[in-house]
Copies of this chain bind each other. A is one copy, B any other.
Amino acid sequence: MQVQTLKGFRDFLPFEARKRDYVISTLKKVFQLYGFEPLETPAIEYEEILTGKYGDEGDQLMYKFQDKGERKVALRYDQTVPLARVISQYQNDLPLPFKRYQMQNVWRAENTQKGRYREFLQCDADIVGSYSPTSDAEIISLAITSLKELGFKKFKILINDRMLFTNLPNLGINDEEVPMFVRAIDKLKKIGREKVIEELVRNGIDSQKASYTLDTLENEKPTQRINDILEALEKMKVDKKFIEFLPTLARGLNYYTGMIFEVEIDGYDTGSVAGGGRYDNLIGIFAGKDVPAVGFAFGFDRLMEAMEEFKLFPSELPSTKILVTNTNNYAPTIVNTLREEGINTELYLDEKDLEKQLKYADKKRIPYVLILNEDKFLLKDMTTGKQETLTLEQVVEKFK
């Protein structure tokens, strides 16, 4: 038997799990500050609830199976379709607008060679039930505050209105060509103008027309809606330097109906760490009526990667501060006192020599070891190697 995780699945050992926890709890705090409320939905849903909402690729990548009752079921693929179900199922319990955040894993049978995972955390915040530009602005402001709270200094919200693309047929792009055209220009930032035009030509657009359409689009001014959103952001005291109108921004997903945005962090080139927009046709599918919505999601793995790159994790995450050696009969009593004072303390559990206990602390990156001798307490700083003789009260003082 091969004792291993499945391809595309990950264990998070303590060192990594602690960092994830830090980012999750920071985001939760900010989401709550903005009046967003937590929601949890099941990992498994009826297959028919999930399929047909994410396009052919989504249906392909979805984990589907039959349960013991031979029901066709599927694993959560994102958190938006479950939100749509919730909105329909609890219509009377959830007054609109409903502002919810959700942070759960989703599963997709992705091609792992592209560096993608098959289980990953999504962090969504959405406002359901409001058409107002203020709600679009709230989502953008929330994204900005979240990034600032995590410690990012230089980043940009690239913003656009998908309504701009409704003008494409007037510029000579047929209705049927529009999705292909949008897919192509979405790659502008990544592959550059020349390659985008090549792709358009490959797809049957005359090269001059491609170039002209791209030029026209690039020179578009913000729509009235975008201006309304920018005005709301100004009232929210959001610094303009974070916002950039980008008329060629398209975002892959088809369900957006209005404002769209992506978050790019200066100096982190893997791609946008967050994105979102308005999607007024999706949430109502189960309720059988129009329900407007606007929201965004962090790409959690990219966010973690960018945090790592810019060294934004606090040096002290909640972890063990002191290892108390098992060299004195009353070690458990000492440990109890330290814990009662709220100091994260580990007691060495076995009877091994002091050297082994110090090695253990070192391997576990526990910053201090309290060595209990019969007559005195030695506190050893594992980083500097320095030792000092302290009373228990002095130890408590130092760590509180």
Where the two chains meet, the residues of A that have a C-beta atom closer than 8 Å to any C-beta of B are 1-7, 9-14, 17-18, 20-21, 25, 28-29, 32-35, 37-46, 48-49, 63, 65-69, 71, 73, 75, 85-86, 88-90, 93-95, 97, 99-100, 105, 107, 109, 118-119, 127, 130-132, 134-135, 137-138, 141, 145, 232, 235-237, 286, 318-320, 323, 326, 329-333, 335-336, 339, 342-347, 349-351, 360, 363-364
Contacts and interface: CB of A to CB of B under 8 A. Distances in A.
Contacts of A339: 33-34, 145
Copies of this chain, tallied across the complex:
2
A349 B346 CA distance: 49
A344 B33 contact: yes
A235 B11 contact: no
Contacts of A66: 65
Given A63-B67, A235-B332, A319 B132 contact: no
Nearest to A324: B35
Contacts of A2: 46
B89 A11 contact: yes
B237 A336 contact: yes
A15 to B, nearest CB: 8
B236 A3 contact: no
A234 to B, nearest CB: 9
Contacts of A134: 326, 332, 347, 349
Given A107-B44, A235-B333, A332-B134, A97 B350 contact: yes
B349 A127 contact: yes
Contacts of A331: 235
Given A134-B347, A138-B349, A351-B132, A12 B40 contact: yes
Contacts of A43: 43, 75, 105, 107, 119
Nearest to A60: B68
